[in-house]
Amino acid sequence: MSLCRNYPTPSNRMAVMWSLMPIKNSVVLEYGPAGTTHFGAGFYGSFDIDLENSLFTTHISEDDIIMGDVSRLEKAILEVDENYKPEVIFIVASAVVAVIGTDIKGVCTYMQDKVKAKLICFDDGGFGGDYTMGIENTYTLFVKEFALPENPIKNLDKYNILGASAASYRIRSDIWEIKDLMKRSFNMENGVTLGLEAGIEDLKNMGGAALNIVLRKEALPAAKLLKEKFGTPYIYQCPYGYTGTLEWINEMAEILSKEINIPFKKQLEEKIKDVRDMSRMMMATRMRIQPTASIIGDYDIIIGLSNFCKEFGFIIDKKICNHSLKNIDTENENIVSYKKEKDKINDLKNIKGQLVFGDEISIGICDNSNTKVCVSFPYPSKTQIATHLPFMGERGTDYLMEIIREYFSNMR
């Protein structure tokens, strides 16, 4: 790993933690130094995750490391089970515990008969890739461990949302918007929002939904597994822009064999027409320079916002992904992911006079001649509180339209 001036890419263990903690009726028990948990708690708190009675640590001493003593872990499991009575205890190894090779799976196996809670462990300590791998593995585990029974009662008016990572900036607002879109389009209700708004019982019943909406690539294995187990169809697309939102709704209508609410469809079509008229007017009367945008963030944010910007006649200069692209085919998408932070910083400094979507660190590095919008993780000085300020869907596009107009105004 090269020297980092800013924030290093979070490991898979960090994503495991922030994906597990929102699950109701469960507890995350971190086996490692208390300082690690204390630092992490402040980090997770910025995602608006409720940490009360959901995150605990065993702490460890030199004896635990040198002698392989696991009595602290055994006692912690018994104490959490007796005092908090969760349905599930997730035991997560810290990096130091993984390095010394403590057999956490073995501990969970012989301790299972001594507690009422189900014990599930994550023991790689953050050495299994970056945060995208942690998200993928956790979502897949949710389906494998909890999606029961094999033949659930199908509810044709329910859908699940897969891929709503708690770390994504304004994700709760985006989920609020998606729920509203589904209600206005098809009068459907949300069943499970995996990794953000769900309890253990919700996870058990997620096979009964009529549709799974996949918001990020890491949730695709879970969606495919649900289709294999329960026959549930899925759609993998994020609704960015008026056109993108209408295409997203039309595709779901075809999958579900449902009619779209006509007044709402006409409303979106009218806004699409307004965008086209505005784009033509801007190009004809104000623009002397080709409007240009750069996007920095997770893969799916880059894809979604690229399509949105093209709707306004933008060319996309740079697409910089903040995580590894090892398992993603980007041959025709011109997306880059830098191994060395220095190379990324140099590239960001060369962006001038553009509309820049990105994380707070990256847009801060960009020249002030740019119009900047924070849309992605990390965002160290921001806290997620609002749940009504989306980037996706109709309302998200309303907001982004204001940013587009600001950019055009700055280009005069």
Cβ neighbours for 53, distance < 8 A, ≥ 6 positions apart? 27, 84
The predicted-structure confidence for 236-286, as pLDDT tens digits, reads as follows 999 999 999 999 999 999 999 999 999 999 999 999 988 877 666 666 555
Burial of 67 (0-12, 13-18, 19+ CB in 10 A): exposed
Fold designation for 147-238? Rossmann fold (3.40.50)
The predicted-structure confidence for 387-402, as pLDDT tens digits, reads as follows 999 999 999 999 999 9
Q: Report strand pairing: 26-31 vs 88-93.
A: parallel
* Alpha helices, H only, 147-287: 171-186, 200-204, 220-230, 242-256, 262-285
Per-residue pLDDT in tens (0 to 9) along the chain, 412 residues? 567 777 788 889 889 999 999 999 999 999 888 777 777 777 777 788 887 888 898 888 777 776 677 889 999 999 999 999 999 999 998 877 777 777 889 999 999 999 999 999 988 776 778 999 999 999 999 999 999 877 688 899 999 999 999 999 999 999 999 999 999 999 999 999 998 989 999 999 999 999 999 999 999 999 999 999 999 999 999 999 999 999 999 999 999 999 999 999 999 999 998 887 766 666 655 556 789 999 999 999 999 999 999 888 899 999 999 999 987 877 678 999 998 899 999 999 999 999 999 999 999 999 999 999 999 988 988 888 889 999 999 999 999 999 998 998 887 7
**DSSP result, 133-154:** HHHHHHHHHHHHHH---SSPPP
411, 289 contact by CB (below 8 A): yes
Distance CA 244, CA 252 (A): 12
CATH architecture of residue range(s) 278-410: 3-Layer(aba) Sandwich (3.40)
In the chain, CATH 3.40.50.1980 sits at 12-129, 147-238, 278-410
Return mean pLDDT, the chain. 90
305, 357 contact by CB (below 8 A): yes
Distance CA 98, CA 101 (A): 5
Range 12-129 has CATH code 3.40.50.1980:
yes
Length of the chain: 412
Tokens 């980037």 appear where?
391
Q: What are phi and psi of 376, to 5 degrees?
A: -140, 170
**DSSP result, 53-82:** TTEEE----HHHHHH---HHHHHHHHHHHH
Query: Could you tell me how many helices (H) and strands (E) the chain has, helices first?
Result: 16, 14
| Partner residues linked to 197 by β-bridges | 193
